Structure 1
Amino acid sequence: MATQTKDPIATFTSTETLRAQARKEIGEGPVTVNYPADRELIIEQLNKSLATEWVCVLRYMRHYYTITGVVSEPIKAHFLEHAREEQMHAGKIAERIVQLGGEPDLDPQTLTQRSHAEYQPGKSIKDMVRENLIAERIAVEAYRELIQFLGDRDPTTRTMLEGILAQEEEHADEMRDLLEEA
């Protein structure tokens, strides 16, 4: 049985159609006619990631300010560095939500409810490191799931999240090492 080869040119939208579509809904910015229909679900999931990043910022900052002890200084530096990186992640996610026509949900009253990670203060250095490692592991898995869900449907969001995921994996690796030393 012979297989038919699909004409590769037929898979591309004509220049005239691209021009007409771009002019038709100009107010949509980067969201074009072929953007996935479940844009609201993507924005909702990004808002959960945004909440997770802010909860992580707050937890890391609390740990930064409250950690004490002879061995605390290098760990304290890690907490501050991670808090700053989590805040950068939050900024990227919020900007992408706006690009997609959504609104970043930063309501402090519901932040922890929407976050994948919990806000656990931790009492000892070991508790603090453990809670941060748990939160990083949660973030890693949540990002993997969202990246897999996006697939080829939204390569811009997927690429952004892949960069964040790589940094979250580094954070988890560092926290694991610190936990072994604590």
Structure 2
Amino acid sequence: MGTVGQEIVGIHAEEIIDLLNQGIAAELNDAYRYLLLSKLASGIHSGPVADLFARTAADEWHHVGMLMDRVVQLGGEPMTGPADAAGRSYVDYRPPPADPTDVPAMLADSLAGERAAIRFYRTLFEKTRDIDPITAEIARRALADEIGDEDDLERLQTGRPDR
């Protein structure tokens, strides 16, 4: 990022980079978890759930990339690997249930993760909207995605029809 771009963020860059790395850690865990769930989910009605998990994994990987790009633009270093995720994530990793047919548990745990992401991105947006409009826009986009994910999961969980 250029000199004037860095001046806009100013003294807040370090705090923003830390928040972005928290987001990277959580999204990395979520992307892996969703992809894993898409492979493990089995039993009656698991097809649509597995498909949603696969699509959501791709969305979460996209968020990882957006957040990494922003850390680099701010002159920071993205977390260096998955081993860093546990200590940096804003939410604990939820392993899949032992029973691959326990789709209700998969959905409930996934909803908890999406709700944590919604809270995180809302906070990131609120903290950056007046000091870093680029990060605020990234947070706004990710927030919209996570709200959509929550809605999709709730629809599957409750059996509500698609939009």
TM-score by length of 1: 0.80
- 1:5 match: none
Alpha-carbon shift at residue 30 of structure 1 (Å): 6.2
- 1:65 match: 39
- 1:126 match: 104
Matches within 5 A, 1:84-163: 84-120=58-94, 121-122=96-97, 123=99, 124-163=102-141
Matches within 5 A, 1:47-86: 47-86=21-60
Distance 1:106 1:177, change over 3 A: farther
- 1:180 match: 158
Alpha-carbon shift at residue 109 of structure 1 (Å): 1.8
Count of matched residue pairs: 156
SS at match of 1:32: helix
- 1:19 match: none
How far, CA to CA, are the matches of 2:29 and 2:69 in structure 1?
A: 18
Structure with greater proportional helix content = 2
Q: 1:89-145, CA deviations, whole angstroms, 9 ceiling, x for partnerless residues?
A: 110110011000011104222212211233221241001111110000000001111
How far, CA to CA, are the matches of 1:132 and 1:66 in structure 2?
A: 14
Distance 1:72 1:148, change over 3 A: same
Q: 1:126-181, CA deviations, whole angstroms, 9 ceiling, x for partnerless residues?
A: 01111110000000001111111112100011011101100000001111111113
How far, CA to CA, are the matches of 1:174 and 1:32 in structure 2?
A: 38
How far, CA to CA, are the matches of 1:30 and 1:176 in structure 2?
A: 44
How far, CA to CA, are the matches of 1:32 and 1:63 in structure 2?
A: 40
Alpha-carbon shift at residue 55 of structure 1 (Å): 0.6
Runs of 5+ consecutive residues of structure 1 not aligned to the other structure? 1-26
Q: 1:18-40, CA deviations, whole angstroms, 9 ceiling, x for partnerless residues?
A: xxxxxxxxx85664334231211
Give the % identical residues.
Answer: 30
Runs of 4+ more than 2 Å apart: 27-36
